[in-house]
Amino acid sequence: MQWRSNSQRSFLGNIKLYFQTEEDKFPSRKKNPTPPEIVEVEDSPGPVKKIIKARKIRLNGKDQGQYLVRFKNKKSYKDKWLAEEAIPDVDLHLMRFRASRRTEQSHQ
């Protein structure tokens, strides 16, 4: 048996196998577990002060935008990730969030 160099072994160890996920070809294959539920508006601790960050997650095979929201009169540890649909007055808050990101980028 021929031994490979360390660089070859480490490279081969990083390769992941590709498996096709068509259900008719692999009926016994289990699907990915469902992701945790997104927090609803009823669970929010009050009115929204501002949007701090944005991210995209994959939920049920679709990309979904989420926003880290800070609430009025609450500390930063109470910030929550909410879906766009769950944020009251989302258009106003998104407009302010995007404007603040543009000004931050122009000052760099």
Q: Say which CATH number the domain at 36 has.
A: 2.40.50.40
- Domain of 89 in residue numbering reads as 6-106
Classify residue 93: in a domain, yes or no: yes
CA distance 48 to 71: 4
Q: Is the Cβ–Cβ distance between 19 and 32 less than 8 Å? A: no
Give the pLDDT confidence of 58-95 residue by residue, as tens digits: 888 888 899 999 999 999 999 999 999 889 899 999 99
Total domains, the chain? 1
pTM for this predicted structure: 0.56
Q: Is a pLDDT exceeding 70 seen at residue 2?
A: no
Which residue would you say has higher pLDDT here, 44 or 57? 57
Q: Is the Cβ–Cβ distance between 64 and 57 less than 8 Å? A: yes
Classify residue 53: in a domain, yes or no: yes
CA distance 42 to 45: 8
Q: For position 46, what pLDDT does the model report? A: 82
